[in-house]
Amino acid sequence: MAAFQPRMSPVRALKHRPWPLSRVVIPKLPVNEAIEEECTPYYDPARFYPARLGDVLNHRYQLATKLGYGSNSTIWLARDINQFFLHVLHISSTSANAWYRWRWLREKYVALKINSTAHHSRKNATQAELDILKHLSEANPLHKGWGFVRRPLDSFTLKDGLARHLSFVFEPLREPLWIYRQRFIGYVIPSDVLKILLQMMLHGLDYLHSEYLKPENIMIKVEDPSILENSARDEYEHPLPQRSSSDGCTICLSRNDFGISEKITGIIQITDFDLSVRGDRPNSGCIQAEIYRAPEVILDAGYSYGMFLKARKLFEEVDPLQVQEYDELNHLGHISALLGPPPKELLDKGTRTDRFYRSDRPFRGRIIAPSDFNFQDSICNIHNEDKRMFIEFVQRMIKWHPEERSTAKELLQDPWLYADFDED
């Protein structure tokens, strides 16, 4: 009797199969040189999942190339091998007999965010992020801003010994806004393009009632899926250098520059909700990247929806990437130079106010902002009426009192967003 031969299920036979591991020799980086996530604050390799190119995760997602990293996660472009073949019926021109040809569907790619294990300051943070993502996905799909907010396609947990890594699956995006603006002369997004981007952001913000934005959290969507396939193929045939650590971890370089977009204005999505909180109730403590912090956050006077919204670094002089170390006192000094002294009622609410202001409320530091630190002199890429209306638009957002800042819905009515001006 012939031995039993197990048969592959019909459904499984139609699925994409993982690419075999590339045989190309991968260039190696120096062992003593920190790269990518190793350069983030408080990096601990034990907290990161040891992902490698070619791995198939959750029996479905094959890692194709690394897209980026953060202090608590790595982001990967992955093939979804659960996609199916397309079965097409053809009729031969020389025969009445029908014959079949198997063709590939275009391979589907996803972005995979693999979270690190919980840091002591981020206990349950990844689960909270997933809860917020699900809430945002389901809240109101009919809202104009729903499509401008990133939504999860799937989630699962990876095991590495005793560690658990909650992972999210998203639609892949092209690039963050800070890379997108490099496509323009002088790294300056033209006013007419910026207005369209801002309208999309504000619709997204109106949907979120979000408390902060920064260029790293605003992503441009991929306009052509073939870009992803080309990137995966390029990594397979010409892999970027990697570095293997003594602990066995492999750090890959990110491949996240997809070249110049075929479209002048890309569709945006708002991303990264790992430190988000509900904004319809009072909150306290630290939030936002340092140079984007609103004064009530620095003073710990509580915050809700009325946070700063900025599409560029207004306070370059306190950016730690520019001046090595962030200085809260200096930051408040620059805000004071721009807006004048803070209102007493705001200072009275702050649990940290005494660090920056004496009991009779004079500032402990000195105003070290340059004399030309004002809206008029800080904005030099637009001119005349366009500039005047833009400054009025910005001033509606940057105020001491949170309740005086315009909401996203109010900003969408600002005339500057819809005004046309002849180029100078």
Tens-place pLDDT, residues 19-55:
888 888 999 998 888 899 998 888 899 899 999 999 9
- Residues in a beta bridge with 270: 149, 218
Confidence at residue 331, expressed as pLDDT on a 0 to 100 scale: 82
Helix%, strand%, coil% for the chain, nearest 5: 30, 20, 50
- List of residues 6+ apart from 274 with CB closer than 8 A: 72, 73, 115, 125, 126, 129
Structure token pair of residue 250: 């492999």
Tens-place pLDDT, residues 293-303:
777 777 776 54
Euclidean distance between CA atoms 211 and 277, whole angstroms: 8
Confidence at residue 275, expressed as pLDDT on a 0 to 100 scale: 52
Among 126, 149, 127, 115, CA closest to 270:
149
Mean pLDDT of 174-198: 86
Whether 119 has a pLDDT exceeding 80, the answer reads no
Sheet (strand 154-160) strand order: 56-57, 61-70, 73-80, 109-115, 163-170, 154-160
Which pLDDT band, with edges at 50, 70 and 90, does 292 fall under?
low
Whether 171 has a pLDDT exceeding 90, the answer reads yes
Which pLDDT band, with edges at 50, 70 and 90, does 165 fall under?
very high
Which amino acid is it at 214? K
For 13-61, give the secondary structure using H, E and C: HCECCCCCCCCCCCCECCCCCCCHHHHCCCCCHHHCCCCCCCCEECCCE
Structure token pair of residue 335: 């805000």
Whether 260 has a pLDDT exceeding 50, the answer reads yes
| Pairwise pLDDT comparison (340 vs 158), residue with the higher score | 158
Q: What phi and psi values does residue 94 have, to the nearest 5 degrees?
A: -110, 0
- List of residues 6+ apart from 17 with CB closer than 8 A: 81
Euclidean distance between CA atoms 210 and 220, whole angstroms: 19
Q: Please name each of the domains of the chain with its CATH number.
A: 29-92+99-173+224-254 (3.30.200.20), 282-424 (1.10.510.10)
Mean pLDDT of 172-187: 85
Q: Tell me the pLDDT of the chain averaged across its residues.
A: 78
Which pLDDT band, with edges at 50, 70 and 90, does 337 fall under?
confident
- List of residues 6+ apart from 150 with CB closer than 8 A: 133, 170, 171, 173, 219, 269, 270, 271
Euclidean distance between CA atoms 29 and 252, whole angstroms: 9
Whether 94 has a pLDDT exceeding 50, the answer reads no
CA angle 61/62/66 to nearest 5° reads 110
- The Cβ-side half-sphere exposure at 88, using a 13 Å CA radius, reads 10
Burial of 200 (0-12, 13-18, 19+ CB in 10 A): buried
Question: Helix or strand or coil: residue 394?
Answer: helix
Confidence at residue 310, expressed as pLDDT on a 0 to 100 scale: 35
Euclidean distance between CA atoms 289 and 393, whole angstroms: 23
